[in-house]
Amino acid sequence: MTDLNIVTLVSVGAHPTSGRARRAEQDARAVELGLRLAGEHLRVVHAGDPREEALRAYLGMGLPELTVLEQPAGADALPALADFLAEAGAQLVLTGSQAETGEGSGLLPYLLAERLGWPLVVGLAAVEKVEQGHAQVLQALPRGQRRRLKVRLPFLASVDNAAPVARQSAFGPARRGELQVEAVPALTDELFADAQLQPARPRPKRLKVIKAKTAADRFKAATAKASGDGGQVLRDLTPEAGAEAIFKLLVEEGVVR
């Protein structure tokens, strides 16, 4: 699989308690996955400030170099990355699911896939094999379940915490690695420039009522597939009917009032 042209996109993360810049957790997992697949041939790309020291933490994972598409803060990374990936002839692009800094909307993989016209696999856990222009991958589902997918190349994949843990970043390779700067036209992200940032509130969660009495029950509850209580599978609907059904559910659940 080493002849596969793999690109991992990385961002600058923030430590959850101190807020200090670091390698982003999920992006580092994407690099780990890429390193396991392509070794030193892996290309790692960041759009932003090449003087950011936290980027060296990715180099410390054993990368000889990291490409930085130089952009001022607040610029839209999407066009620059899309152009780069199209030109680089990437066959598999790995990203984290959501950035730890900036907008952090988690939309970048979707927007990139849309712009490039490539399929997107979310929650990639492993790439099993690549042959004849197709990759067989495992997608992570809740409760430790895995779904085997066959995807044609090129495609994008985002990783979350189901992907293998990133290896330790070491000082020596981090210091030796090179940050290759490429100049790209800067496009201001207008939506982001006008928007106001406020700290996120934790999402409300349903209270988990543990009914299980025995360890065996608890194990079963933790590993069983989500049973469809009240859900239904709708097939071959018109978009209107589908939207209708979704709207009805949202009203029922009290999300829309």
Partner 1 sequence: MLNTLLPILLFAALGLAVLGAVKRFVMWRRGRPSKVDWIGGLLKMPRRYLVDLHHVVERDKYMSKTHVATAGGFVLAALLAIVVHGFGLHNRILGFALLAATVLMFVGALFVAKRRRNPPSRLSKGPWMRLPKSLLMFSVSFFIATLPVAGILPEGFGGWILAAILAVGVAWGVSELFFGMTWGGPMKHAFAGALHLAWHRRAERFGGGRSTGLKALDLDDPKAPLGVEKPTDFTWNQLLGFDACVQCGKCEAMCPAFAAGQPLNPKKLIQDMVIGLAGGNDAKFAGSPYPGIPLGEHGGGPHQPIVVQGGKGLVEADTLWSCTTCRACVEECPMMIEHVDAIVDMRRHLTLEKGSTPNKGAEVLDNLIATDNPGGFNPGGRLNWAADLNLPLMSEKGEAEVLFWVGDGAFDMRNQRTLRAFVKILKAAKVDFAVLGLEERDSGDVARRLGDEATFQTLAKRNIATLAKYRFQRIVTCDPHSFHVLKNEYGELGGRYEVLHHSTYIATLMSRNLLDLGQHKGGSVTYHDPCYLGRYNGEYEAPRAVLKAIGIEVKEMERSGFRSRCCGGGGGAPITDIPGKQRIPDMRMVDIKETGAELVAVGCPQCTAMLEGVVAPRPEIKDIAELVADVLIEAPAPVKKPVVAKAELEGVQ
Name the residues that contact partner 1, by CB under 8 A: 15, 17-18, 20, 22, 60-62, 167-173, 175-176
Nearest residue (CB) to partner 1, 20 versus 235:
20
What's phi and psi for 231, nearest 5 deg?
-80, 165
Smallest distance, partner 1 to C-beta of residue 52, A: 15
The DSSP string of 81-147 is HHHHHHHHT-SEEEEESS-SSTT--S-HHHHHHHHHT--EESSEEEEEEEETTEEEEEEE-GGG-EE
Closest-CA residue to 44 (of 79, 90, 77, 87): 90
Q: How far apart are CA 135 and CA 212, in angstroms?
A: 40
Nearest residue (CB) to partner 1, 51 versus 248:
51
Sign of CA dihedral 51, 54, 58, 60: positive
Smallest distance, partner 1 to C-beta of residue 35, A: 12
User: Checking DSSP bridges between strand 43-48 and strand 120-121, what pairing results, if any?
Assistant: unpaired
Q: Is the N-terminal amide bond of 173 cis, ω within 30° of 0? A: no
Q: How far apart are CA 8 and CA 29, in angstroms?
A: 10
Smallest distance, partner 1 to C-beta of residue 176, A: 7
Smallest distance, partner 1 to C-beta of residue 19, A: 9
Nearest residue (CB) to partner 1, 25 versus 49:
25
Nearest residue (CB) to partner 1, 161 versus 188:
161
Closest-CA residue to 44 (of 31, 61, 29): 31
Give yes or no for a contact between 66 and 176, defined as CB atoms under 8 angstroms apart: no
Nearest residue (CB) to partner 1, 168 versus 227:
168
Smallest distance, partner 1 to C-beta of residue 77, A: 24
Give yes or no for a contact between 153 and 133, defined as CB atoms under 8 angstroms apart: yes
Q: How far apart are CA 227 and CA 29, in angstroms?
A: 31
What's phi and psi for 70, nearest 5 deg?
-70, 125
Nearest residue (CB) to partner 1, 171 versus 219:
171
Nearest residue (CB) to partner 1, 199 versus 230:
199
Smallest distance, partner 1 to C-beta of residue 87, A: 32
Smallest distance, partner 1 to C-beta of residue 136, A: 27
